[in-house]
Structure 1
Amino acid sequence: MATSLDLQEQEQLDALKAFWNQYGNLITWLLIAVLAAYGGWNGWQWYQRDQAAKAAAMADELDRAAQAGDAARAGRIAADLRERFPGTAFAAQGALEAARVQHDKGQADAARASLAWAA
């Protein structure tokens, strides 16, 4: 059988209810905002890691094309890196690598264009 609350417990419960009625909506929205910010931050970090991994994979493919001496393929991969990941170091490094391979294969104009983009 449930016992009735004594006067002090009833006053504490009433004070808690009054506090929640006054600030409950604010607390709830603040909690939602904090959780949304946390979720957004984690989503952004995941996106950055995903983009870096994709750019690194393309840079590895460019390195393989450069080692094989395939200037046309290296140029296409470098152009794709410039288009998809223009603000990364991989794009600039890829342009330099493509320019080196193109220069070695006697494609001076293509090498100059790659170097101009990197600069």
Structure 2
Amino acid sequence: MSVHLSEEEQLEVLKRWWKDYGKTVIIAVLVAVVGYFGYTTWQDQKRQKAEKASEVYEQLLKLTNAEPGKILTDSDKATIAHLASELKDGNSKSMYAHSAAFFLAKLAVEDNKLDVAVSELKWVLSAKPDAATEQLARLRLARVLTAQKVYADALAQLSPEPAAAFTSEYAEARGDILKLQGDLDAARTAYEKALAATDPQQQERYMLLQMKVDDLKVDGPVPAAPAEEKAQ
């Protein structure tokens, strides 16, 4: 009898618990189910978006990596601009978007549209990319600004100390600007830093930097003439 009553008591407790918390449990389960399917759907959409961006990027690469000597037609350039804009609009934080902007900047420089190149490189910086991409964008922007003879702005882009991988190129770019400004001593110091940070196995680059350093070396004092020559 006591066992039977105990079971009835347990059933009554269960009924009361369900009355008090049943709706909450159902809602929690529904939220979990909806959340799971929502997350899965979001993941699928994200994957599909990434796959689409990869396909667009491949098309862009095929156009930009033309055979040596091949000149891009106006139609090619229009297609590149369209594909690049699609990547940039899709996700400004993605590697594909940043690479697309670099492609547009390169084409703009080749067409002597330096303002367009500046705009594209500044867009990359505004997207807050990773450190390596930011440093590359600053380096390229400095070079374009140098071509525009906006030397102060160009130097400002190179002012943050870069990672070791960019030390040589940053120093060389500074040297080029300082030389154009007429500050030859500072330019030589920058070139020497670039040379010191360059692997000698990169023979062409190493030789080019050595030539830049040698070109700005200060000649030593002219030796005094011998006494006999003075007497004559």
Q: TM-score, normalised by structure 1?
A: 0.76
Structure 1 residue 58, shift from structure 2 partner: 0.8
Structure 1 residue 83, shift from structure 2 partner: 2.5
- Structure 1 regions of 5+ residues with no counterpart? none
* Alignment counterpart, residue 105 of structure 2, candidates 99, 104, 111: 99
Q: How does 1:1-119 map to 2 (within 5 A)?
A: 6-68=4-66, 70=72, 71-72=76-77, 73-103=79-109, 106-109=110-113, 112=117, 113-119=119-125
Offset from partner CA, 1:44-66 (integer Å, 9 cap, x none): 22222121111111111100111
SS at match of 1:25: helix
SS at match of 1:8: helix
SS at match of 1:7: helix
Q: TM-score, normalised by structure 2?
A: 0.43
SS at match of 1:6: helix
**What is the RMSD computed on CA atoms of the aligned residues?**
2.4
Structure 1 residue 24, shift from structure 2 partner: 0.6
Corresponding letter in the other structure for 2:21: Y
| Maintained 8 Å contact 1:65/1:74 | yes
Structure 1 residue 19, shift from structure 2 partner: 1.1
CA distance in 2, matches of 1:85, 1:26: 39
Further displaced range: 19-28 or 42-51: 42-51
SS at match of 2:93: coil
| Maintained 8 Å contact 1:55/1:85 | no
CA distance in 2, matches of 1:45, 1:96: 28
CA distance in 2, matches of 1:87, 1:41: 21
Offset from partner CA, 1:3-61 (integer Å, 9 cap, x none): xx932222222221111111111111111122222222222222221211111111111
SS at match of 2:14: helix
The structure carrying a bigger helix percent of its residues is 1
SS at match of 2:18: helix
- Structure 2 regions of 5+ residues with no counterpart? 126-232
- How many residues are treated as equivalent by the alignment? 113
CA distance in 2, matches of 1:83, 1:23: 47
**Larger relative contact order, structure 1 or 2 (CA cutoff 8 Å, min sep 6):** 1
